[in-house]
Chain A
Amino acid sequence: MSLRRYVLKRLLITIPLLLGVTLATFAMVHFIPGDPIDFITLFTELDPETKQEIRARYGLDDPIYIQYLDWLADAARGDFGTSITTRQPVTKEIAERLPFTLMMGSMAFVIAIVTAIPAGIAAAYHRNTKVDQVSRVAALLGIAIPNFWLGLILILVFASWLDVFPVLPPTGEGLLSSEMIVYTLLPALAIGTGSTALLMRLMRSSMVEELDKDYVTMARAKGLPERTVVGKHVLRNSLISVVTVAAIQVAFIISGSVVVEIVFSYPGLGRLLVNRVRNHDFPVIQALVLIIGVAVIFANLLADVLYAYLDPRIRY
């Protein structure tokens, strides 16, 4: 099977997966305790008729599967309804904040990858030396420190004491303004540290294992320089087990962003989610949970494709 056919097959499998996610999202939000009507009406006492009227307006009186299908049809067109809290279109609210979270998440991910992979390689190549020991301790700390606490420390050190970063997000600045990018750095670091530490250790152990294999001796026996032996032969095989876990990190980074956005008052989706969960703003919650689910699915899809690209054996 060629790589292209493998990708196509994998894409096809994604379709039922996506449907499953929508169903799970819908069900989950539907079973949140509390009557959405109360939140729509801000807990005012209402006579049953008015309540029924509101229920009908939001389609809450339809049979549950009709509600699901309606929502699904709308969602497919990018329409997630109107927010109960702000009466704004959900899509608009999300569109305003999504880029911020995307930027922070990607930054966290990039930080994780560009530090974890080289550091893991160095630790593996110089295993049982100072380099390896330092990286082991650093990784332990990175994994052990909770991201929100790290966020607070970063604010304390860099924003308060050293005063090199702003404490509050810049207002009225565009997403790609230098102020915003600089401000995003600390929260991205707070989220990315755990993933960095994890991926680094994984990269190390995977690489140590590969370095002992015969094909490495064989590559050396061919007279190839160390840079080719490690950078070409060993790296590719070591990455095979790392890409899957790297994809899972996308989910960790998303969930991490929820807490860290609160700590940094970051204008992203995570903070939106927390606010709206408090208000039972179910159209927004549904949309956000769906977006997260879809993001995780696509991260895994990407990982599978990368995996197949790196390891020709699994295409069969």
Chain B
Amino acid sequence: MAMLEVEDLNVRFYTEDGVVKATNDLSYRVEAGERFGVVGESGAGKSVTSLAVMGLVDEPGVIESGEIRFKGEDLLELDDEEMRRLRGNEIAMIFQDAETALNPAYTVGEQISEAIRHHLAPGEAAAEERSIEMLESVGIPDPATRYSNYPHEFSGGMQQRAVIAMALSCDPDLIIADEPTTALDVTIEAQILTLLEEIAEEFDTAIQLITHDLGVVAEFCDRMMVMYAGHPVEMAPVEDVYYDPQHPYTVGLMSSIPRIGDDRDRLDTIPGRMPDLIEMPPGCNFHPRCPYAEEVCTRREPPLVDTDTGQPADVADHDSQVAACLAHTGELTGRLDYEVTVRDDTHSRPVGSTGDGSPSE
């Protein structure tokens, strides 16, 4: 049993313009202590997914169907009180923009302490002591003084550290980090990621890391899920996705990893935009943008299959590589012909790949 099991999750937003299908039969697993990456373009449903796990999907959003099991317990069955006991305690969240996630009217220390007081119910002084420890453990110098500072007295990087301290404060088993470094500059980003890595190791905390940035995922995660229009199009151990992507969308994302000296807009190599989540294209949602699309793609919705066997995906098997493209079910007449070049700091090597999953020559 994985720590977090999301099963056929459907979240809908009932807006004036229509029903936004933010996640569609979304399933994934996060193992204890695992670092699980979630990538996808803006609007793919990454944040909605994490809010659903936290039980924080708010009006006009509704979790229409599905299951979210945490340590075997279906969170959607819990009442508010029970859910609150988990939140911030066993599952914690780190937000993208620490500056807005911190309440400007209370001291940083108080905002950490209040969660500790609420969940662990120690005395006032013990909560403060623990908060100061947390601030220290995320590398904030002079934590005892910083405890009584207000958020605006912290730099951006320090604010994000404080938010991480907050998430860690009750020793959670799962941290959902929603683009924790997007608002930060590159050096601070590296520091924060290192910090998260250390924490994950030290406390054996599972981390679901949401990001736009495939580079960050490659660096940080064990396994990853590529989301498109509210559902996974590819899911596999990071190296597999990185060296041998199996879905045209993933390939598009990969070729748009920003590189030094490259100031292209990040995702402009995949022409077009994500479909309207109110009225999605039939068949494969990606077909309007897919260079390999055939007639069948407009009719048939590709199931998520094991790219080696073509059999329906088993999300519980976290060593398998699964993708949702008709190329893997044998319904496509052509092949996915692309070549992926992976560059790292020292050298670059081309990695060939063909759509049927067979290794390149």
What is A's interface to B at a CB cutoff of 8 Å? 213-215, 217-225, 228, 233, 236-237, 240, 310-313
Contact = CB atoms under 8 A, between A and B. Distances in A.
B125 to A, nearest CB: 20
B166 interface: yes
A129 B84 CA distance: 25
Nearest to B152: A313
21 contacts: A214-B97, A215-B100, A217-B51, A217-B101, A218-B95, A218-B102, A218-B103, A219-B103, A220-B56, A221-B56, A222-B87, A222-B114, A223-B85, A224-B114, A225-B84, A233-B103, A233-B106, A236-B105, A312-B105, A312-B150, A313-B150
Interface in B109-135: 114-115, 118-119
Contacts of A236: 105-106
Contacts of B92: 221-222
Contact of B84 (A223, A240, A313): A223
Contact of B88 (A221, A233, A311): A221
A223 B92 CA distance: 9
Nearest to A128: B59
B174 to A, nearest CB: 12
Interface string B21-61: 00000000000000000000000000000010010100000
A306 to B, nearest CB: 13
Given A221-B56, A221-B87, A237-B105, 19 more contacts: A217-B56, A217-B95, A218-B95, A218-B102, A218-B163, A219-B103, A220-B54, A220-B87, A221-B93, A222-B88, A222-B114, A222-B118, A223-B87, A223-B115, A224-B84, A225-B84, A228-B114, A233-B103, A312-B152
A79 to B, nearest CB: 45
Interface residues of B, number: 28
In the A-B complex, list the 9 residue pairs whose CB atoms are closest, starting with the nearest: A223-B88, A222-B88, A223-B87, A214-B100, A222-B115, A215-B103, A221-B93, A218-B101, A312-B150
B34 to A, nearest CB: 21
Contacts of A215: 100-104
Contacts of B101: 214-215, 217-218
B100 A213 contact: yes
B353 interface: no
A225 B102 CA distance: 17
A213 B103 CA distance: 9
B10 interface: no
Contacts of A223: 84-89, 115, 118-119
Given A223-B115, A223-B119, A214 B105 contact: no
B82 to A, nearest CB: 11
Interface string B68-95: 0000000000000000111111001101
A310 B89 CA distance: 29
A217 B94 CA distance: 11
Given A220-B87, A221-B56, A221-B87, A311 B95 contact: no
A237 B103 contact: yes
B118 A214 contact: no
A251 B163 CA distance: 43
Contacts of B100: 213-215
A221 B102 CA distance: 12
A310 B105 CA distance: 6
B162 to A, nearest CB: 11
A233 B102 CA distance: 10
Contacts of B102: 215, 218
Interface centre among B51, B89, B102, B114 (most CB of A within 10 A): B114
A222 B119 CA distance: 9
Contacts of B150: 312-313
Contacts of A233: 103, 105-106
A50 B85 CA distance: 88
A31 B104 CA distance: 49
A221 to B, nearest CB: 4
A214 B166 contact: no
A19 B93 CA distance: 55
A302 to B, nearest CB: 19
Contacts of B152: 312-313
Contacts of A220: 54, 56, 87
Given A222-B166, A223-B118, A311 B105 contact: yes
Contacts of A222: 87-88, 92, 114-115, 118, 166
A235 to B, nearest CB: 10
B168 to A, nearest CB: 12
A120 B95 CA distance: 29
Nearest to B150: A312
Contacts of B105: 233, 236-237, 240, 310-312
Nearest to B84: A223
Interface in B324-339: none
